[in-house]
Each structure stands twice: as structure tokens, then as C-alpha cells.
Structure 1
């Protein structure tokens, strides 16, 4: 346990450093944007003199490092700037949009893990037989199909041809959980399929290796029920797939941005699209930074979970 606490402390201590690196990367990249903040704020009819005065007033002519430290100071006060006129705080827009993206990502993650465990166990238990072959084919197809294309197919089949789900829109779960589930199922499945397909292959491989270990043969030789043996082996086999779960969550976050645009969901994806089409640098910078920091925090949490469930780490 002491070793676990020491390793966990290292992971947590590195988090502020990594967040600082992300802020620097996002800020520097956004400085290469051809968009002129003065032009966006003052409009097309603004003169060159007015734009220059705006740039001077807001410190846009200051050196890069000065603007970066001013940006960090604003971040400490949760100030991400304002959108182009009509001006609204970017933080307020993100506060409204981020919960939906988080809900979609979490729902997709739950579906992906359930599908991966079910199909991974089927493939391992019926190894090299027809159920295993079906799981392999489905897994390869799931990895190969882009999530946005799958989303379009799901809309066509289950929203247009067979109207079981809506083509888009969002229902707040506080208003109606059934309505929320109705609107989020197709987007979540679109994101979860590729993740569950790749995770299922990892679960199958890990479980096959676990079922060949000595303790499994000993348990079977002692007459333990197959279900008990399988549950014990599966618990140990899930340790390895857990190591890639953080990366998969990052994939889901990025996939949610695209899927939200397809299903007309007012999440972070819609904000990024609005910022890009409207040349709103502050909005794009704020949403990208929020997604990147979320991805980083989730990866650290997954690392801590891996340290917690891995017996070999706990006994170091």
C-alpha cells in the first residue's frame, strides 16, 4: 500500500505540470490563427486605426510570453475570454455545453465496456470455434468503420426507415431520463462500437492467457464451478485492458465532438464548429483546452485505478 501511495502521489504531482504544458501548446498553436481578434470584435467597417487601437488596448501587440502569462492569469480566475459579438463569456458557454459531452462520453464508455467484456468472454471461452470467429469478424468490422459514417447509417436505419429513435436533438435527463436515453442511444452506439471492438480483442487475448495459468487448472482440478473459475480469471484478465482505457476515453471525447455535429447535440462539438465557422479564436481555444485537460485528467485517473487493481503494483 505504501508503494501504491507513493506512485499515486507521483502521478498527481505531475498533473499540474502536464496541464501547464497543454495550456502552452494550445496557446501557441492558436497564435498562428489567421483570424484578427480586432477585426472580429469591431466588425468589417472598422478602420485600420481603430483595429490598431483595439490591439494596443488589449495587449495583442505584446510579446508572446507576456500574452501567455496574462492568459495563465486569466485561467486562474476561470476567465477564458469572450466570444465575438454578441459577446458572452466563453466559460459560460462551456459550462452549458460540457455536461452534455461528458454524458455522451460516459454513456459511450459504459456501452463499450459492456460490449467488450461480453464479446471478449465469448471469444475466449469458445476459442477457435465459430463464436470466436464471429467475434473476430465483428471486432475487425467495428474497428474499420468510422464513427461518423456509422452515425449516418444508424440515423438512416433507426431514425428514418424505422423511426425508433430521433434523428437528433437533446433531452435533459433532469426533465426526462427516458427522453435522454432516447436521444443519446444512437450517438453513444456510434462512438462505442470502435472502442468496444478493439477492447474486446484485448479482453479475449488476456482472458485466453489467464485461463491457461496454473491457478486456473488447479481450481478446475479441485472441482470449483466453471463460473467461479471464469469470474476469477476475468477479474485478473481485465487489468491489461484497463491500461489502454484512458486512451480510449480520449478517442471518445474526440469522437463525441464529431458525433454531436451529426446528431445536432448542443455540446462541445457544436461550440468548436461555431468557433471555427465564426472565426472565434477565444471560443475555439477555450473548448479545445477544456477537452485536452479533461483527457489528461481522465488518463491520470485511469492510471490510479490501474495502480489500485494491479496486485503486483500494490506489493512493490
Structure 2
């Protein structure tokens, strides 16, 4: 068994207690919240105490907490996220309907952030302490300080309302119109990705500058290799280790930020689903959205770990 496979297996095994911890945390938070599923079910009516008791008994709400927890875990293992107390529909069906849009927004924002940070960070490092570097550093510092929701509101005001370049909200399925989908997703993706791109730009710049100062770079350039070849073939790959680590942590921001951005742009994704569930007092749906988002964060970080191994030969060598 190779060193890389051993490292990956070790990471996968460590995901088991992490996942169980997430499940336990979400279960306890939802069970000790002030939201009563029985009262939410009879929302708008005037149920008697007997009706409330009967509902709680039928749905296992009167069982001891450990019994409810193990039943909850058993349902999760079968892909059952519970039943909405308002619609009486499966939460998993609602999540599967809303999840594709959130994934589109998250990965589109991730792609924009990666492209912008690589272009900005490498350019700033190559032109260190010169005008392009100074401009990029000022812009990236501004982007780090600017909240995503504030950027979203500015984009709606100027790019959508005043200039009319993009729609202010709504969603078009890419199967119906790819151009329409791209227009509806451009502003949300930019609002979500720009703060992450600004932070990554600064980290990419620092990593590339450190690599450019190493002896092998000066030797390669002195031997006649074009600087762009040295940067693209050697420097960039070695400099990606630290940005990849930060990128894994920022995926959580992208997933969480998508909830706010979807609400601002009226996108029918996981964010709207959770906000509606919170307003209507539907704890099963809130629980399902939170768990799905947490599991997505865990899986994406596993992918980042794999990429980290691919670009960091020193880690593979030390493991070997």
C-alpha cells in the first residue's frame, strides 16, 4: 500500500468521529431549541392538550433522549432526514430539490475565487513592490473588509437596477437557457466569491514571493529559462500548498454565505429553504439543511486534502 493511500485512508477514518460529532451537535441543538414541532404542526389552529400529546406520542417526541438520538442516526443511515411538520413531505425530497442550485452557486463562486486569486496573486508577486502589486494589494484589502451581503446590495443597485446589465433576482434553469442561467448567477457568484478571492490573492502573493526568492528559481532563470515558464511550471505548483489549505477552510464560508446570498437574490436554493423553515417553525427542515451543508463541507475538505497531497510531494515523501 502506497503512502498516499495510507494517508487518504487515515483521513477517511477520521471523518467517522467527526461526522458523528456533527450529527450529535445538530441533534442536541434542535432538541433543546424553543421550537415545538407539535405547535408548529397545528400552526394557525387551536389544538387541545390531548391533540398535542397525541402528536408528540405518534412522532416519538416523548421518548427518552438517547432513544430519539439512535432512532435519528438510524434514519440518517437510510437517507431519511425526517418529515416536515408543515407539509408532511420528506425533508430529503425538499433538500434534493434545493441542493443543486446551492451547489451551482457554491462551485461557481469557488471557481471565480480561484481564478481571480491566481491571476491577482501571481501578478502581484511578479511585479512585487511596483504599481500593479500596490493596486492589487489595495483592492484585495478592500475586498477582505467588504461583507458579501453588502457587495450583493451594491451590485443589485448599480449593475441590475441602474445599468440593467443583470437581473436583480430570480433563477433560470440552465437546461432552459444557459445564457439566462449565467445572467441570473453572475451577480450572486461574484458577491459570494469576491471576499474569498481577496483573501486568497494575498495568500497566493505571499507564497509566490517566497518561492521566487529561492535559489532554484534564480538558477533556472540564470540558465536561460523564460521567467513565465519557471513560474508556471515550478513556482506556482510549489506555492499552491498554503492557498489550498486556506481554500479548504473558506469552503465553509462559501456554503454558509450561499444561504444569505440566495435570500438576497431570491434564489430557490438551500438558503431560501432554511429561511422559510425557520420563519414557519419547521425544525425537521432546518435540521436537514444544516446536516446536508455540514456533510458537504466535510466532503469538500476531503477533496482539498487529496489535492494537497498531489501538489505537496514533501508530504508524500515524509509519509513514505
- Which TM-score band (shorter chain)? over 0.9
Whole-angstrom CA distance in 2 between matches of 1:63 and 1:217: 68
**Deviation readout 1:60-109 (Å, 9 max, x if unpaired):** 11111110101011112211112233321111000000010000000000
TM-score using structure 1 length: 0.98
Corresponding position of 1:4:
4
Equivalences for residues 1-316 of structure 1 within 5 A: 2-43=2-43, 44-231=45-232, 232-316=234-318
Most deviating of 103-112 and 9-18: 9-18
Asked if the contact 1:139/1:198 (under 8 Å) is kept, the reply is yes
**C-alpha displacement of 1:137:** 0.6
**C-alpha displacement of 1:230:** 1.5
Which 4+ stretches in 1 moved above 6 angstroms? Answer: none
Asked if the contact 2:237/2:311 (under 8 Å) is kept, the reply is no
Whole-angstrom CA distance in 2 between matches of 1:82 and 1:117: 44
Whole-angstrom CA distance in 2 between matches of 1:2 and 1:213: 30
Whole-angstrom CA distance in 2 between matches of 1:64 and 1:220: 66
Please, what is the CA RMSD of the aligned residues? 1.1
**C-alpha displacement of 1:42:** 3.1
Residue aligned with 2:167, SS: coil
Whole-angstrom CA distance in 2 between matches of 1:103 and 1:95: 13
Asked if the contact 1:41/1:84 (under 8 Å) is kept, the reply is yes
Whole-angstrom CA distance in 2 between matches of 1:87 and 1:8: 40
Q: Which runs of 5+ in 2 are unaligned?
A: none
**C-alpha displacement of 1:57:** 2.1
Whole-angstrom CA distance in 1 between matches of 2:86 and 2:281: 11
Whole-angstrom CA distance in 1 between matches of 2:180 and 2:221: 47
Asked if the contact 1:170/1:180 (under 8 Å) is kept, the reply is yes
Aligned residue pair count: 316
**C-alpha displacement of 1:130:** 1.4
Asked if the contact 2:41/2:86 (under 8 Å) is kept, the reply is yes
Whole-angstrom CA distance in 1 between matches of 2:127 and 2:75: 57
Whole-angstrom CA distance in 1 between matches of 2:57 and 2:113: 51
Asked if the contact 1:8/1:307 (under 8 Å) is kept, the reply is no
**C-alpha displacement of 1:213:** 0.7
Whole-angstrom CA distance in 1 between matches of 2:190 and 2:231: 28
